[in-house]
Amino acid sequence: MQAAAQAHGHSHSREIAWPPDHLFGRASAGKIAMWIFIVSDGLSFAGLLLAYGILRGESEAWHHPGEPELGIAFTALLTFLLICSSVSMVFAYEAAVEQRRGRAALFLGLTALGGLLFLLGQYSEYFGILHPGLTKEGLVFGQSAYASTFYVITSFHGFHVLSGTVYILVTLVRWLRGAATAGQIELLGLFWHFVDLVWILVFTLVYLIPPGP
């Protein structure tokens, strides 16, 4: 091995130095990787939301007869739930940094619970639990741009909530085993807050903007 290194002109006595850069080491490789993922994922959502905006802006009538309006009050509750889960996530990170292991686990568990309740709420909105869901009320995928963009955007976000919840539960188990670090919980938090941030935009653009004249 040494011979091979020497053959390539390297020697073990000379350390490889990083070029002088005051920013080197200010963010971990994991954090930079997570931000790259978040930016690219954010651009995916941006593509969906732009397509939605173009279709809605150019349509003669967005809501077709027989199609239900989206429930603002119920979705506002789901929004509040995601905001609460973001707060519990930052408290989990705080506790993890302070090495308060039980408190960190508790807040991670609460965040996962928030994610599960959001998914339950979305299921209820689509298919109905206590009341008929949108699919039974006449909002059918493929029937109109209104229906299709709604299901594509919200289910893509729902998939993120699902994967985020699994990510939280896996990290929670690793934390309880002593295999996860506070830095890893910060990365998890970045993803979870991103999911919350995207929902803030989806809630406004898809649910709150009133129909045109």
Partner 1 sequence: MTESPAQAAAQGHTSRARQYLIIFFVLFVLTVLEVAVAYIRGHRVEIVVVLCALAAVKAACVALFFMHLKWETRVLRATVVIPLSLPVLYALVLITEAAWRRLTL
Is 33 a binding residue for partner 1 by CB under 8 A? The answer is no
Rounded CA separation 8/127 (Å): 64
Could you say which of 105, 110, 145, 205 contacts partner 1 (CB under 8 A)? 205
Please name the residue that has the structure tokens 């998890």: 188
How distant, in Å, are the alpha carbons of 30, 107, 173 from that of 100?
Answer: 23, 11, 16
Could you say which of 104, 150, 186, 188 contacts partner 1 (CB under 8 A)? 186
Residue 99, sorted as left (phi over 0), alpha (psi -120 to 50) or beta, turns out to be left
CA 52 to chain centre: 19
Q: 49 and 153 in contact (C-beta within 8 Å)? A: yes
Residues counted in the chain? 213
Is 203 a binding residue for partner 1 by CB under 8 A? The answer is yes
φ and ψ at 184, to 5 degrees?
Answer: -70, -35
Binding mask 81-120 for partner 1 (x = CB under 8 A): --xx-xx-xxx--x--xxx---------------------
- CA-nearest of 48, 75, 76, 42 to 190 is 42
Half-sphere exposure of residue 156, counting CA atoms within 13 Å on the CB side?
A: 16
Is 210 a binding residue for partner 1 by CB under 8 A? The answer is yes
Binding mask 6-25 for partner 1 (x = CB under 8 A): -----------------x--
Rounded CA separation 107/88 (Å): 5
Structure-token pair, residue 78 = 């789901």
The residue among 46 and 61 lying less far from partner 1, judged by its C-beta, is 46
As measured in angstroms, the least distance from the Cβ of 51 to partner 1 is: 11
Residues near partner 1 (CB under 8 A), total: 53
As measured in angstroms, the least distance from the Cβ of 6 to partner 1 is: 35
Is 38 a binding residue for partner 1 by CB under 8 A? The answer is yes
Could you say which of 5, 61, 72, 129 contacts partner 1 (CB under 8 A)? 72
- Provide the Cα torsion 77, 82, 86, 91; round to 10°: 60
Is 196 a binding residue for partner 1 by CB under 8 A? The answer is yes
Instruction: Please report, as ranges, the residues that interact with partner 1 according to CB under 8 A.
Output: 23, 26-27, 32, 35, 38-39, 42-43, 46-47, 49-50, 53-54, 57-58, 72-73, 76, 79-80, 83-84, 86-87, 89-91, 94, 97-99, 181-182, 186, 189-190, 193-194, 196-197, 200-201, 203-205, 207-210, 212-213
